[in-house]
Amino acid sequence: MSPDDARKVLAEADLLVSPEKSALAVRRVADEINVRLRRENPLVLAVMGGAVVFTGQLLPLLDFPLDFDYLHATRYGDVTTGGQLAWIVEPRADVSGRTVLVVDDILDEGVTLAEVVARLKAQGATEVLCAVFADKDLGKTKPITADFVGVTLPNRYVFGYGMDVKGAWRNLPAVYAVRGM
């Protein structure tokens, strides 16, 4: 997408979650995680690339020791509909015997996150918890639910706060929906 096309998409988009509400959601999720993991030393795994914004805002708010790594698994690549799961980068850290907190940008259909959790459990993780900035309300059951959710979004094509529209606008501090989609 060209810069001009990206600017046009943003100019025509509907604001769903303001920067202020995004920040409050992250603070609330951090508080919930702090209560749940305060006595743990978990491995926190960010799911790249969408989780980078959420993870960057979340980590400084966590008040317990942790180890950090990342993984990159995707069903989307450069397209807007999910396909076969591709593992681009697996975690370097050993998950065996660990409590793992997976941080992701959005729980959409849930297929990718469910497969990530299944793989971590198969590798010996004691417990796998999931924190997502956004959970999209699809009106149907998903194969997984997140343990910690920042905001719930309508079933629209969304971008911002780590989520992209054809590669653009992950860097926005708010969440928008593409108009007409």
Helix (H) or strand (E) holding 38: none
Q: Is 108 a catalytic residue?
A: yes
Do strands 175-177 and 158-159 pair parallel, antiparallel, or not at all (unpaired)?
Answer: antiparallel
Residue 25 near residue 17, CB atoms below 8 Å: yes
- Of the candidates 104, 105, 108, 135, the residue annotated as catalytic is 108
Q: Three-state SS for 110?
A: coil
Q: How far apart are CA 129 and CA 141, in angstroms?
A: 19
**CA distance from start to end of the chain:** 17
In degrees and rounded to multiples of 5, residue 35 shows phi and psi of -65, -45
Residue 129 near residue 148, CB atoms below 8 Å: yes
CA atoms within 13 A on the CB side of 156: 17
Q: Three-state SS for 121?
A: helix
Task: List active site positions.
Answer: 108
